């Protein structure tokens, strides 16, 4: 199952702690996760924030790139992304790396 790392950055002016519109958008985004988990068969492995740097890290497992992209096109996801710079990386875990290392000759 593909795993995606999202690194989101926003300005202090767009911080959900300081900006009511952004706070509502973020709350709506996270409120949708149960529905999205069922609809797209995705799983949020974890979410972390470095508050003083205005950076958030999300790790999401999805059955395919297509499912992940459809999730990202949901209105609540787009509303959050509108005021952020987001890097998306497909990542592999330690077990997958070890498997690849063992298969390499």
pLDDT at 1: 82
* Beta-sheet strand order (sheet of 3-9): 43-50, 55-61, 3-9, 85-91
Q: What span, in angstroms and rounded, lies between the C-alpha atoms of 20 and 58? A: 22
Q: What pTM was computed for the model?
A: 0.86
For residue 83, give the DSSP letter. T
pLDDT at 101: 92
- What are the C-alpha distances in Å from 94 to residues 43, 78, 89, 101? 18, 31, 16, 10
Q: Compute the average pLDDT of residues 87-103.
A: 92
Q: What span, in angstroms and rounded, lies between the C-alpha atoms of 84 and 81? A: 5
3-103 sits in which CATH class? alpha beta
How does residue 105 score in pLDDT terms, banded at 50, 70 and 90? confident
pLDDT digits (tens, 9 = 90+) for 3-38: 999 999 999 999 999 999 999 999 999 999 999 999
Residue 104: is its pLDDT beyond 90?
no
Residue 75: is its pLDDT beyond 90?
yes
Half-sphere exposure of 19 (CA within 13 A, CB side): 14
User: Which two three-digit tokens encode residue 1?
Assistant: 């199952």
């Amino acid at each position: 199952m593909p795993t995606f790392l999202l690194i989101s950055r926003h300005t202090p002016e767009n911080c959900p702690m300081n900006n009511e519109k952004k706070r509502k958008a973020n709350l709506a985004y996270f409120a949708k996760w149960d529905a999205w988990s069922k609809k797209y068969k995705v799983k949020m492995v974890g979410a972390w924030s470095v508050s003083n740097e205005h950076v958030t890290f999300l790790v999401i497992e999805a059955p395919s790139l297509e499912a992940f992209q459809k999730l990202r096109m949901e209105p609540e996801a787009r509303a959050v992304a509108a005021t952020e710079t987001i890097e998306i990386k497909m990542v592999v875990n330690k077990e997958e790396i070890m498997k690849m290392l063992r298969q390499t000759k």
